[in-house]
Amino acid sequence: MNHVTGLINLHEDNDLIKEVTKIRPIATIPFAGRYRIIDFILSSMVNSGIVSVGIILPNKSASVLDHLRSGKDWDLARRHEGLYYMTPLDTNSRTHPSELRTLYQNLDAMHRNVYDYVLLSGSRSVFNMDFNNALRFHQNTKADITMLYYKNLQKKFSPCTVLQTQETGLVTDIANQPVADDNASVFMDIYLMSQKIFMDIVKYTYERGGSDFLLDGIMRTQKKYNIYGYCHNGYVSIVNSTLNYYHTSMDLLDPQIWHELFLNKFPIYTRIKDDVPARYKADAHVSNSLISNGCVLKGQVENSILFRNVKVDAGARIRNSIIMQGCRIKENAFIENVICDKNVMVDVKKVLKGADDYPFIIEKNTVI
């Protein structure tokens, strides 16, 4: 796949997941104990053999740069190609900052590197897939654009893009909906197309006032192109709301999903931190949980995900919660249905409880 360039768009709507995106885009929300959400798409690209990946940076990009750096941890620090960043160039422009503006401003750079295909993706989907099959599908159907989707198994209440396809895969309708029905074909936010078509769409749409690739670029020009849908069979979750983040995290406690995402032949890469293995002390009691390196456990943990370097003191109890990197839960504190962002300290005997279907969120660096 070295004739494909990956592009990851980090301009994403965070209206429904504001609490953990004050300081970062959705792409760098910590996830699954040691990862950031962007690791899934990035690792899938690398594992599929893509060696050139562009990151379309959003406004809050400090955490993105801190996480990805040279791309070394994804094997993308290369002499030629590798990881590259697309930043907005002209801030005095009359148009609003958007992915299309950044892409348009960086078209020159794309002209210099000639690829056959562009794989354009969002950064908030959790999955582990090989894009080679999608590419073969794209070539066989002679599609102009291939949109990747998955079959939604349960009714999910979070905004999504739903595709209608014919048996051949030809897309007949694209709709933005607030609810994905049972068995709907939900768009994974991943497109495959030739570099030429990609550049044409960016140019044509931006010059006519467009800002969103899907709404202005694809939906408005739908008739012009031959669009096919490729169905990915496997676990997919799009993290676009807080509740969805919580449920997707809890999905990982299903060993099958944990295996599929992390222990199939393609690993998920992330920035390496060199922490010690988790240390369980004599009174630790852990069940049905994911525990990361660097944790020190003296209390009780149940149905929860603990990120790196979380300390659970004696007598503390954690249930159905997500505790991010560097948190400390002190003696006899009790936590249930809670998402603790990084470096939260919960003091002795404090009780924090969220509802089953509405987790309580504690912002980064809070001391309670």
**Could you list the residues that contact other proteins (CB under 8 A)?**
32-35, 72, 253, 255, 258, 261-263, 267-270, 272, 274-294, 296, 305-307
Closer CB to other proteins, 196 or 279, in the complex: 279
Min CB(133)–other proteins separation in Å: 22
Closer CB to other proteins, 123 or 325, in the complex: 325
Pairing outcome for strands 185-194 and 117-121: antiparallel
* CA nearest neighbour of 315 among 295, 299, 296, 335: 299
Min CB(270)–other proteins separation in Å: 7
Closer CB to other proteins, 1 or 32, in the complex: 32
Handedness of CA 256, 261, 263, 266 (dihedral sign): positive
Strand ranges, E, within 78-222: 82-86, 117-121, 125-126, 145-151, 160-165, 171-177, 185-194
Q: Name residues whose C-beta falls within 8 Å of residue 274's C-beta, 6 or more positions apart in sequence.
A: none
Closer CB to other proteins, 106 or 249, in the complex: 249
Closer CB to other proteins, 10 or 291, in the complex: 291
Min CB(150)–other proteins separation in Å: 21
Min CB(34)–other proteins separation in Å: 6
Q: What is the per-residue DSSP string for 194-243?
A: EHHHHHHHHHHHHHTT---IIIIIIITTGGGS-EEEEE--S--EE--SHH
Min CB(323)–other proteins separation in Å: 12
Instruction: Tell me the C-alpha distance between 100 and 199, whole Å.
Output: 11
Instruction: Tell me the C-alpha distance between 115 and 11, whole Å.
Output: 23
- Say if CB 317 and CB 299 are below 8 A apart: yes
Min CB(266)–other proteins separation in Å: 9
Instruction: Tell me the C-alpha distance between 57 and 263, whole Å.
Output: 30
Closer CB to other proteins, 215 or 296, in the complex: 296
Min CB(267)–other proteins separation in Å: 4
Instruction: Give the CA dihedral 341, 342, 346, 352, nearest 10 degrees.
Output: 10
Closer CB to other proteins, 42 or 193, in the complex: 42
